Amino acid sequence: MAFTYSWLKERSLNPEFHKYEENNITNFKGTNIIGKLKGREKGPSILLNGHLDTVNICEGWVKEPLKGTVEGNKLYGLGALDMKSGCTALLLALEAFKNTVKDFKGEIIYSFVSDEEGPYGLGTNAIIEDGLVNHVDAVIVTEPSSGFCAIDFPCICLGARGGYNYTVKFKGTAAHAANPEMGNSAILDCAKVMLELKKSEMIEDPKLGKGSICIIESGGGGQACSVADMAFFTVFRHVVRGEDKYYVEKELYEAVKRANIKSQVEMKFRDGPSSESEGFEPYIVDESNPYMDKMVNSIERICDKKPQISYFSSIGDFNYFGSRLNVPTFVFGPHGHNYHTADEYVEIDTVVKTAHVIYEFLVNTLMID
């Protein structure tokens, strides 16, 4: 954050630190950078967004994770793909726009946020809840769309699945392990429901495909040499349009009914810092949206070919913009491999082209006729 702020400040790009606190659940104190370039006439407001945090260093790195190592067209390092390269592309595009475009309409707002990799996206949640970006007309997030979707560059994502985290608790009846038939095992009932839940029929979205049910944690037990009277499992449920919290809750209790168990069952969604940040809603961008034409034209001009269109299978800050602000939110960024794992790298030429595309889009959208 300090480096990025200084880089922007030295180039007179008007950065400001945005401090926030989340005191309901995490007690997290965070910092974002936000800034604005204002045109002399009224026009569209375009938000450029990227996150500066990374996941933790995992096992298995051969390259030095905290040192940018260049080998040919590849740059290795923690966050090289996800998404320091995308943030770099935004910085370069902002600098080029300021240096080459004197008069324009509308405004460019940029936000470099923290905690995207956390469970709640606290940085972007804060700029929305503090009302700093709620008036924008379109958003570009330079997450590595090509790298994430394993599609050759250039690739543009026009939406993403959403997701909810919930835990299911089971209360059975204890008994001595020598006489298990006298009790009711919460662990066995828990297992039965997990198996039934995985059989659930899910909605198939024409753009986003189907959701997914991933059991990410389970446990239980009781006293030594006793039938377990407590058990639980936790699910991350990716959802598509038409699958909201009520749908997911109904899905779970239908699985409980099919399992024909005796334990008492309680389901609870993960608490969020606020009602709107408890989960991530799915969204799509209509291909007929006028900003879509400008994005495609900009990509074609720089890359000499049309982008492939895809949709994110997982969640990110783009969900907050696309669903909570209800504005067209494009995900477009570089190509590379090994995000969230060892020896992460980005292909350097795609970073350069991403910067050119963003610059081209800004010029095409904001130039005065």
pLDDT for position 134: 95
For domain 2-161+282-366, give the fold.
Answer: Aminopeptidase (3.40.630)
Prior bond of 65 cis (ω within 30°): no
> 156, exposed or middle or buried, with CB in 10 Å at 0-12, 13-18, 19+?
buried
Interacting residues of 363 by C-beta distance below 8 A, sequence separation 6+:
97, 101
How many whole angstroms separate alpha carbon 50 and alpha carbon 41? 27
The structure tokens listed for 235 are 């699910």
In the chain, which residue ranges form alpha helices assigned H by DSSP?
A: 2-10, 85-100, 122-129, 145-149, 186-197, 245-259, 290-303, 317-319, 348-366
Flag residues of the chain having pLDDT under 50: none
The residue written with tokens 């839940």 in the block is 197
pLDDT at 369: 80
> Quick one: pLDDT at residue 170?
98
* Res 222: pLDDT: 75
**Boundaries of every domain in the chain:** 2-161+282-366, 162-275
Closest residue by Cα to residue 110 from 142, 157, 84, 83: 142
Examine residue 83 and say whether the peptide bond preceding it is cis (omega within 30 degrees of 0). Answer: yes
Q: What whole-number distance in Å separates Cα of residue 330 and Cα of residue 47?
A: 10
Is the alpha carbon torsion for 248, 249, 250, 256 positive or negative? Answer: positive
Asked if 328 and 292 touch (Cβ cutoff 8 Å), the reply is yes
162-275: what CATH class?
A: alpha beta
Question: Does the predicted TM-score (pTM) go above 0.85?
Answer: yes
Number of residues assigned to the chain: 369
Among candidates 320, 324, 316, 295, which has minimal Cα distance to 144?
316
* pLDDT recorded at residue 249: 98
Look at residues 344, 302, 6 and name the one whose alpha carbon lies nearest to residue 148: 344
* 203 and 251 Cβ atoms separated by less than 8 Å: no
